Chains A and B, each alone.
Chain A
């Protein structure tokens, strides 16, 4: 039960607290990929700064 053949199973109670990071990470992804000022309150600035990345990562941009 060690090494490469059988990785240790992480019990779900141990994972639960860390799942709080998921909304934070999804918020970052949203701000990078989709926000047009609604949450960031920067108007079009964030959109324009991250413009090329949004297009080339394949998300709808404008």
Chain B
């Protein structure tokens, strides 16, 4: 049972990752190319700056690598999702398989993508100081953890409120937003956009980057929910004795 879910998560994650890769390739690569062109124009003026000078991987190689990145990202995230889903199923959240898959995927997008994006939005090449990459990565991961912890607190809170759906949803929303807003306010701000970097390019890049994650989580949630619902219908159609207990 767990193995079936894990394999489902891995394969559908790989598929959703490839779909997101297609989206990023079609709509994001033009922005990446423009940013790299700006970066190289700047590097040409500063002889000391080595980035972009020697090519380890060609641009076509990097565009193929995009699909490798989104595919493997989907595989890893899909596997973790499936194991969390296996633990939640029948215990927390919607009772239907498809409903739970969509709710969990939506929550994952909100908590692990949207929450860090608001504080530390995606940056195109040429934005960001390589010297600070470690601290920026650590801050980004802290924001992901805050989002995931906040969703857990919200779910735990909602389960304790018995005063009706309105009170439950409001309590869950407050329980989610309080730690998230506290982290947004307390964690250090990062702004390493160089002087003169085109605002429209930055905006378009950030939008398409968020879109890539939205495409991934939508595709993954829908696929996982659809396959799980179908499996549940088949299991319900055969006699109960034939169904494996676990």
Q: Which residues of A contact B (CB under 8 A)?
A: 2-12, 14-15, 18-19, 21-22, 25-26, 28-29, 32-34, 36, 43-45, 48-62
Interface of chain B: mostly helix, strand, loop or mixed:
helix
Report if A25-B80 is in contact (Cβ < 8 Å); known contacts: A15-B87, A18-B2, A33-B73.
yes
User: Are A48 and B57 interface neighbours, CB within 8 A?
Assistant: yes
Partner of A18, one of B73, B86, B133, B213: B86
User: Are A56 and B208 interface neighbours, CB within 8 A?
Assistant: yes
* CB under 8 Å from chain A, chain B span 111-164: 113, 116-117, 120-125, 128, 130, 133, 136-137, 140
* Residues in B whose Cβ lies below 8 Å from that of A49: 56-57, 61-62, 65, 68
In the docked arrangement, what's the CA distance between A9 and B91, Å?
A: 7
| B77 at interface by CB-CB < 8 Å | yes
* Residues in B whose Cβ lies below 8 Å from that of A43: 56
User: Are A15 and B83 interface neighbours, CB within 8 A?
Assistant: yes
User: Are B57 and A60 interface neighbours, CB within 8 A?
Assistant: no
In the docked arrangement, what's the CA distance between A2 and B210, Å?
A: 38
Report if A51-B95 is in contact (Cβ < 8 Å); known contacts: A18-B3, A62-B133.
no
* Residues in A whose Cβ lies below 8 Å from that of B185: none
| B1 at interface by CB-CB < 8 Å | yes
User: Are A60 and B136 interface neighbours, CB within 8 A?
Assistant: yes
In the docked arrangement, what's the CA distance between A51 and B68, Å?
A: 10
Report if A6-B95 is in contact (Cβ < 8 Å); known contacts: A36-B133, A55-B209, A60-B140.
yes
- Pick from B41-49, B165-173, B194-202, B232-240 the stretch touching chain A: B232-240
Report if A53-B68 is in contact (Cβ < 8 Å); known contacts: A4-B232, A10-B2, A26-B76.
yes
Report if A32-B95 is in contact (Cβ < 8 Å); known contacts: A10-B1, A25-B79, A49-B61.
no
Smallest beta-carbon distance B52→chain A, Å:
10
Smallest beta-carbon distance A55→chain B, Å:
6
* Residues in A whose Cβ lies below 8 Å from that of B235: 2-3
| B221 at interface by CB-CB < 8 Å | no
User: Are B246 and A53 interface neighbours, CB within 8 A?
Assistant: no
* Residues in A whose Cβ lies below 8 Å from that of B117: 58
* Residues in B whose Cβ lies below 8 Å from that of A25: 75-77, 79-80
